Structure 1
Amino acid sequence: MQFKVTEEFWQLFPEAEIFLLTIDGLDNSPVEEWQDKADKMLKSAARDGLEFVPNEPISKNPVVEQWREAFRQFKTKKGARSSIEALLKRVQKGSPVNSINPLVDLYNMVSMRHAVPVGSEDLAKVSGDIRLDVAEGGESFLPLGAEEDSPSLPGEVGYFDNDGAICRCFNWREAQRTMITEETETAVIVIEAINDEQKERAQEAQNELADLLAEHLDVTASNHHLTVENPYVDLNNEA
């Protein structure tokens, strides 16, 4: 299995960089004391995230402005926003980011703390390679919480495998098919950056998340860094 970023994507975002972590042997079922621990850690990360959204409305903050501008470079479903905007909007309003499961909680923490989009896929549920690509249109996609297919739009940027879209509009909306659950044992985690400032924060997020995974879930992550000069990685022996 490869994770690759296509030439069509680089034509839109030649300066982008994608930071990956792959893990295997994960026990993602929360232990009894995880909920209280996660709640405290998520609240702490939310306080750190406030640094990035001092201005109202939220669109007036550089992190949000940068991602909205990126989304204007390709076709999107109306209302699509980067996942980091959704998290920081909750942070700004003081709304809690609730615990979901240990892996998702940990990557939400670093996402808020470093103001970068972070998402993950269950590698056991992926069909073939993963591609960060520009959609032809019509790729099958069943989003979280939905009962009907919501195919990708022509020209839309997202993540795909042999069976369709697995995450639409960068890290906006996740597919049910490859979502992280308490049964997930092997996963790839994706951190996105589209400018130099974001790249620095994404690198910090990658390093911190590797430490958190080792500390709290007792798994060792393999870290990867994809650029226009280094557009793919073989995951077969990495997770």
Structure 2
Amino acid sequence: MFKSPIIDDRVWKIAPDFRALTIHVDSREIQSGDPAPDSLKDACEFVLAGGPAWADAHLASWVTVYQRFGARPNRTPCSAQALRRRVMKDGGLAVINPVVDLYNAVSLRYAVPIGGENDDAYVGRPHLTLADGTERFDTVADGKVVVENPVLGEVIWRDDIGVTCRRWNWRQGTRTRLDAMTGRMWFILESLGSMPDDALEEAGEMLVSGISRLMPGCVTEKRRIAAAA
């Protein structure tokens, strides 16, 4: 039903313990549903209380991985680290929309980077690969739409048109971002070996459960990504 991501062999050399859950959602024929009203607030409070227990170790692993491909994680942290810093600084997160709020809540509660994408905007299959530096990345700077290029050797998510997320899971592009609750969606939960394996599965179940409550009647498909033994 959906296009499976392709992982470049060079990425496995940078992070041999990388593993992920890919979750596709078809919400073209959904019924009216309701979000879990306090999921984002509860997740922020969980972080402020020090959870989860593996957060520091897992986010430190992402720092190491970012350094391996030349990124500066203090300036451009992984998405889970960026969310956590905002909560620690501001005491919470502003509401965006039900879908984004849901996967932000899962990301915070499990200290795991999560990307949410408009699958209908993808051209070809998603690739996790190393940039050659010429790829197109559509983003916004100072309120204006601009096009950037990734750095040579940077880990990127891309499709046949260009980059969909820079520096692995740091910044999502505008072309494929989620801005509606209808259509087909793709979520990617990305972890390293310092995150307990069962916690990754729990994070995926929390996301699927929340999506099903938010969009009754949607079709979900979950698959695991890991290096070949």
Alignment TM-score, normalising by the size of structure 2: 0.86
Question: Deviation at 1:156?
Answer: 0.6
Structure 2, unaligned runs of 5 or more? none
- How many angstroms apart in 2 are the aligned matches of 1:176 and 1:27? 25
Secondary structure of the corresponding residue to residue 188 of structure 1: strand
Question: Deviation at 1:27?
Answer: 7.7
Give 1:164's aligned residue: 162
Distance 1:201 1:44, change over 3 A: same
Distance 1:203 1:183, change over 3 A: closer
Give 1:181's aligned residue: 179
Q: Which amino acid aligns with 2:86?
A: R
Task: Kindly indicate whether the alpha-carbon contact (under 8 Å) linking 1:27 and 1:217 is maintained by their aligned counterparts in 2.
Answer: no
Distance 1:82 1:27, change over 3 A: farther
Q: Which amino acid aligns with 1:163?
A: I
Aligned pair partner of 2:130 in 128, 134, 139: 134
Give 1:15's aligned residue: 17
Task: Kindly indicate whether the alpha-carbon contact (under 8 Å) linking 1:123 and 1:187 is maintained by their aligned counterparts in 2.
Answer: yes
Q: Which moved more, 1:192-201 or 1:214-223?
A: 192-201
Question: Deviation at 1:157?
Answer: 0.7
Moved over 4 A (4+): none
- How many angstroms apart in 2 are the aligned matches of 1:75 and 1:154? 10
Distance 1:159 1:185, change over 3 A: same
Question: Deviation at 1:53?
Answer: 8.1
Give 1:202's aligned residue: 200
Question: Deviation at 1:75?
Answer: 2.6
Q: Which amino acid aligns with 1:68?
A: V
Q: Which amino acid aligns with 2:99?
A: L
Distance 1:102 1:133, change over 3 A: same
Give 1:97's aligned residue: 93
Q: Which amino acid aligns with 2:153?
A: G
Distance 1:184 1:174, change over 3 A: farther
Task: Kindly indicate whether the alpha-carbon contact (under 8 Å) linking 1:122 and 1:188 is maintained by their aligned counterparts in 2.
Answer: yes
Question: Deviation at 1:98?
Answer: 1.7
- How many angstroms apart in 2 are the aligned matches of 1:3 and 1:48? 32
Give 2:117's aligned residue: 121
Task: Kindly indicate whether the alpha-carbon contact (under 8 Å) linking 1:75 and 1:153 is maintained by their aligned counterparts in 2.
Answer: no
Give 1:221's aligned residue: 220
Q: Which amino acid aligns with 1:162?
A: D
Task: Kindly indicate whether the alpha-carbon contact (under 8 Å) linking 1:115 and 1:201 is maintained by their aligned counterparts in 2.
Answer: no
Deviations 1:170-189 (A, max 9, x none): 21101000000025410110
Structural mapping, 1:63-78, within 5 Å: 63-76=58-71
Question: Deviation at 1:211?
Answer: 1.1
Secondary structure of the corresponding residue to residue 66 of structure 1: helix
Distance 1:66 1:26, change over 3 A: farther
Give 1:111's aligned residue: 107
Structure 1, unaligned runs of 5 or more? 55-59, 231-239
Task: Kindly indicate whether the alpha-carbon contact (under 8 Å) linking 1:45 and 1:110 is maintained by their aligned counterparts in 2.
Answer: yes
Task: Kindly indicate whether the alpha-carbon contact (under 8 Å) linking 2:99 and 2:181 is maintained by their aligned counterparts in 1.
Answer: no
Distance 1:95 1:150, change over 3 A: farther
Task: Kindly indicate whether the alpha-carbon contact (under 8 Å) linking 2:136 and 2:163 is maintained by their aligned counterparts in 1.
Answer: yes
- How many residue pairs were aligned? 220
Task: Kindly indicate whether the alpha-carbon contact (under 8 Å) linking 1:27 and 1:183 is maintained by their aligned counterparts in 2.
Answer: no
- How many angstroms apart in 1 are the aligned matches of 2:214 and 2:181? 17
Secondary structure of the corresponding residue to residue 143 of structure 1: strand
Secondary structure of the corresponding residue to residue 147 of structure 1: strand
- How many angstroms apart in 2 are the aligned matches of 1:14 and 1:66? 12
